[in-house]
Copies of this chain bind each other. A is one copy, B any other.
C-alpha cells in the first residue's frame, strides 16, 4: 500500500463509491465518483469495474454509472416482510381515503419511508420511497417519536430541530407537549410542516419487533392538500383500522428462518 491514504480499508473505499450515489445524484461519471468518494482515479476505476461486473453498478452507453438492478433486487430483502405484509392494507387505505398513503420506520433521527401508495392525483410530494425526513417535521415521525422511550425523546428534542418550512414546529417545550398529546390520543397531524401545501395525519403500527414494548416499530399515514387539514381527523378510524390489520397480518406471517 502507498502511504498516500494509509489506514483506509478496501471496504470503506467501496462503500465510499456507493455513497457517492447517495449524496451526489443517481448518475455519475468515473471522475465524479472519484471526486465524491475522495479516491484517486485509478483506484476508483478498479473498484467501479468490480462492482459493475457483479451488478452493483451499471454503466450506460455514455460511460456513466448508476446503481445496478442486482443491488436493487438484493436490497429489496430489507424490510420486505413489512412491506409485503402491509402493502394490501396501504392499498385499502389509499382506496378508502383517496389520498396518498405511506408507511415509515424510524432510522436514527429520521422517518424512512419504506412504502408509498399514490395515484395520478397531484399532491405535493412530501414523502418518497427510500426517502427520509426528520421525525419532528412529519406526522409519521411525530407518532414514532411520541411512542419512543422518554430518554430518546428528550435527547432528540435537545438536539437541533431544523425547520423544513416556516410552519415546522421547532420549540422543544411545545413539541414535548404536542408529543404527549399525540401519545394520549393515538394520532398525529401536521399542516405544511414537512412541505408547503401538504398536510398529513398518521397513526402508529406495533409490529412487536422492537426491543421495548409499546414503542411503535412503524407508522402509517396519509398526505393531502393543505386545504384538507380541517377534515383530516375524520380519517382516524380508517387509519387505526388499517393499522390493526397490518399488526394482525404481521404477527401471523412466519418470520423467515434463514436458510430456504
**Could you tell me which A residues sit within 8 Å of B by CB distance?**
9-12, 14-15, 18-19, 21-22, 24-29, 32, 47, 50-51, 54, 56, 58, 61, 64, 66-81, 83, 87-89, 91-92, 94-95, 105, 107, 112, 114, 117-120, 129-132, 211, 255-260
Give the nearest-CB partner of A130 in chain B.
B76
Cβ distance A110 to chain B, nearest Cβ, rounded Å: 10
Q: Do most interface residues of chain A lie in helix, strand or loop, or is the interface mixed?
A: mixed
CB pair B258–A32 under 8 Å, yes or no, is yes
Closest to A112 in B: B69
Could you say which of A51, A81, A91, A118 has the most chain B C-beta atoms within 10 Å of its C-beta?
A: A91
Given contacts A11-B47, A25-B256, A75-B75, is CB(A120)–CB(B107) below 8 Å? no
Interfacial chain B residues near A24, Cβ < 8 Å: 258-260
In the assembled complex, the CB of A116 is this many whole angstroms from the nearest CB of chain B, namely 9
Question: With A22-B74, A76-B130 in contact, is A28–B258 under 8 Å at CB?
Answer: yes
